[in-house]
Amino acid sequence: MASDKPRKAGIITSGGDAPGMNAAIRAITRVALRHEMAVVGFYRGYTGIVNEDYVDLDRKSVANIVQRGGTILRSARCKEFMTPEGRDKAAENLRKLGVDVLFVIGGDGSLRGAAALRDHWDGQLIGLPGTIDNDLAGTDYTIGYFTALDTALHAIDKVRDTADAFERIFLVEVMGRMAGFIALGVGIGCGAEEVLLPERPVDLRELIGRIQDSRAMGKTSCLIVVAEGVVHRGVRSLDDRITIHDSTMLAKEIQKETGLDSRAVILGHIQRGGNPAALDRILASSLGAYAVEVALEGATGVMVGVKSQARCTVPLEETWTKHSSLDEYLLKIQRLLA
Ligand code: ADP
């Protein structure tokens, strides 16, 4: 890009969808239009660019979507874009359409894709953090995280009722393969007795010891929040003979040792759905507008984010090469509160 202002914007939502993506599409579109840019939305992430599957967006096309979950542009994973040939094709199509700035709303994979496109295309590339996992460095929060927390909490509150009634142990598996942001937030929010995180090794014997202690102190039910990354990586069984890769098996193992009725609930994809929570709508709207502003200033190869209440940009590469850490204070107080 020369120093000229961009005249045509492209938008994609890519990878795992997240509530609030629509609010981001709307904000980018409306602010870009105000600055006399034309806007196109590509369908299904990078697939839409590779296959020239897109729609022209005007003010009306993004009306009445700020409150809707999912994404009007759909999302997808695009294998072809993983190859240099696929990215060449995408670059060629972007040139053909006259797009000079591309906004990529997605998680770390989508942002890696944006960075990889830089070798093929000389337009501006701006990322927006769109993932329920909250695992991108360079921003305190990602679009979709707050809604995922709320959705999981509402479900877990119901599980807590039945756990109390039947004096059971419940393991609730939440999303988070690599990072425990959802599990920790949810664990604090629902007052879980235990939170198992991919960032911390799980010692089953110690865990069972703590359950038995709290039982001795009069607690009759127990809620354990498990990040999916914990079972994905595996937990060693009590006799150290097998690695458990499944929350239901983990519950059985706990039952075997404690004699307490133990069940597993896997929340799964409900965590991606639903109308975006207030904070996700606000985050997505502000980052959408800000993304256009930084593009007008000539930024490229960056993700927009928010740090300590201030909007900022961070080089795309840093979003996955730097580590995004869990809140140490929340980690410290979790067991104190339970
Ligand atoms: P998320 O953005 O939610 O992390 P994925 O990891 O599935 O989701 O990535 C979404 C898409 O981004 C992939 O299907 C692919 O098209 C593109 N992508 C991911 N990683 C790369 C990469 N290293 N190079 C090029 N494209 C990539």
Q: Are β-strands 8-13 and 38-42 bridged in parallel, bridged antiparallel, or unpaired?
A: parallel
Residues having CB within 6 Å of any atom of ligand 1? 14-16, 45-46, 77-78, 81-82, 106-110, 112-113, 116, 131
**Ligand 1 pocket test: which of 12, 44, 112 has the largest number of ligand atoms within 8 Å of its C-beta?**
112
How far, in Å, from the CA of 332 to the mean position of ligand 1? Answer: 34
What is the percent of the chain with per-residue pLDDT over 70, rounded to a whole number? 99
d(CA 262, CA 171): 8
Which atom of ligand 1 has the smallest separation from the CA of 80? Answer: 16
What pLDDT was estimated at residue 165?
Answer: 80
How far, in Å, from the CA of 268 to the mean position of ligand 1? Answer: 21
- With both helix axes pointing from N to C terminus, report the angle between 328-337 and 181-189 in degrees, rounded to the nearest 10: 40
How far, in Å, from the CA of 255 to the mean position of ligand 1? Answer: 40
17, 133, 135, 140: the catalytic one is 133
How far, in Å, from the CA of 16 to the mean position of ligand 1? Answer: 10
In eight-state DSSP terms, residue 211 is H
Domains of the chain plus CATH, in order, are 8-144+276-321 (3.40.50.450), 145-272 (3.40.50.460)
Residue nearest to atom 12 of ligand 1 (CA): 110
What pLDDT was estimated at residue 190?
Answer: 95
Strand order in the sheet with 302-307: 54-57, 38-42, 8-13, 101-106, 124-129, 302-307, 310-315
Which atom of ligand 1 has the smallest separation from the CA of 77? Answer: 14
CA 98 from centre of chain:
31
Annotated active-site residue 327? The verdict is no
Which atom of ligand 1 has the smallest separation from the CA of 131? Answer: 3
Q: What is the pLDDT along the chain (338 residues), one digit of tens a residue?
A: 445 889 999 999 999 999 999 999 999 999 999 999 999 999 999 999 999 999 999 999 999 999 999 999 999 999 999 999 999 999 999 999 999 999 999 999 999 999 999 999 999 999 999 999 999 999 999 999 999 999 999 999 998 888 878 788 999 999 998 999 999 999 999 999 999 999 998 999 999 999 999 889 888 889 999 999 999 999 999 999 999 999 999 999 999 999 999 999 999 999 888 999 999 999 999 999 999 999 999 999 999 999 999 999 999 999 999 989 999 999 999 989 98
Number of alpha carbons in the 13 Å side-chain half-sphere of residue 264: 19
pLDDT digits (tens, 9 = 90+) for 185-208: 999 999 999 999 999 989 999 999
